[in-house]
Amino acid sequence: MDNRSEVREFLTSRRAKITPQQAGLPAAGHRRVKGLRREEVAMLAGVSAEYYARMERGNLSGTSEAVLDSLARALQLDESERAHLMDLARTASTTRRPTRRRTAQPIRPALQQLLDAMTDAPAFIRNGRLDILATNRLGKALYWPLFQDPARPVNIARYQFLNPGAEQYMPELDDQRAAAAALLRTEAGQDPYNRDLSDLIGELSTLSEDFRSLWAAHNVRLHHTGLKRFRHPAVGDLTLAFEALPVPTDPGLALTAMSAEPGTPSADGLKLLASWAATLEPRYFGSRSNTDLDQT
């Protein structure tokens, strides 16, 4: 992905979201642009109009962190948007590297053991591309529909946008698609030369109009906690709280674990899900590393 176009489109999309009233500026007179004008952003950021125009044309090379902080405040960026701006600036200031394919990330045995020890909570490990690399038994049972899709590696975004069963399995599919596109956009800012990521984005852009629309919005997101809702084919509706934690020893990986509020129908549903998983053939749960997931 071209860094200059990414910077240009991100900054213009953020500028268009802010009204003069939100920025504390007068809104008198006819305005030809949606949101703030370039010179208004420059004034709010404390830089010259020419300097801001240079940045918005896609040139962040050499921009200081202080100026980026001022720009983030002027554009009222949230935490994830500010981090994305910093990622784009870092890429602009480094020597361009050729695109590369990532080798498969092996899951360390200690991580799989940790997953397996979490017997009452669905849990899995994913990478920034949203590939599911490892699960525990309950995690694979929860995400069973994804594993029935023949596409490999098992990928959350691909299932959400391209599998016709996703709408039934995920009652809040529009929100989950928006989150997935924002997470992929965030990952693209952090790792712009990842060929596997670019290939996935290209595949989704080609085959899904919904993805193309969401991708064009340039939204980014940090996805650490929240609620996920499922309509599981074996146990029905589940509302689960999730926590997504980075794995410090394995950069780029995140461990996600889910739980249900005690005494709720979803808590009963998780127990039923565990019983259902126990009826499945043992070969489906013998080993859950990334290699074995691709073979089930």
Say what the pLDDT of residue 266 is. 97
Burial grade of 38 (CB within 10 A; 0-12, 13-18, 19 or more) = middle
The model's confidence at residue 283, banded by pLDDT at 50, 70 and 90, is low
The model's confidence at residue 103, banded by pLDDT at 50, 70 and 90, is low
Strand partners, 131: 155
Residue 292 has pLDDT above 50, yes or no: no
Least confident piece of the model among 93-107, 152-166, 178-192, 253-267: 93-107
The model's confidence at residue 28, banded by pLDDT at 50, 70 and 90, is low
Gap between the terminal Cα atoms of the chain: 33
Say what the pLDDT of residue 59 is. 93
Element (H, E) at 110: helix 109-117
Higher pLDDT, 160 or 283: 160
Q: Where does 109-293 sit in CATH, by number?
A: 3.30.450.180
- Give the percent of the chain with pLDDT over 70: 90
Per-residue buried b or exposed e for 263-278, using 16+ beta carbons within 10 Å of the residue's own CB: eeebbebbebbbebbe
- For residue range 47-74, list pLDDT tens digits in order: 999 999 999 999 999 999 999 999 999 9
Say what the pLDDT of residue 293 is. 43
Q: Domain coordinates of the chain in residue numbers?
A: 3-92, 109-293
Q: In angstroms, rounded to a whole number, what is the distance separating the alpha carbons of residues 78 and 81? A: 5
Say what the pLDDT of residue 98 is. 56
The model's confidence at residue 296, banded by pLDDT at 50, 70 and 90, is very low
Please give the average per-residue pLDDT across 228-253, as a whole number.
Answer: 95
- For residue range 175-234, list pLDDT tens digits in order: 999 999 999 999 999 999 899 999 999 999 999 999 999 999 999 998 789 999 999 999
Q: Classify domain 3-92 at the CATH topology level.
A: 434 Repressor (Amino-terminal Domain) (1.10.260)
Please give the average per-residue pLDDT across 75-102, as a whole number.
Answer: 84
Per-residue buried b or exposed e for 117-131, using 16+ beta carbons within 10 Å of the residue's own CB: ebeebbbbbbbbbbb
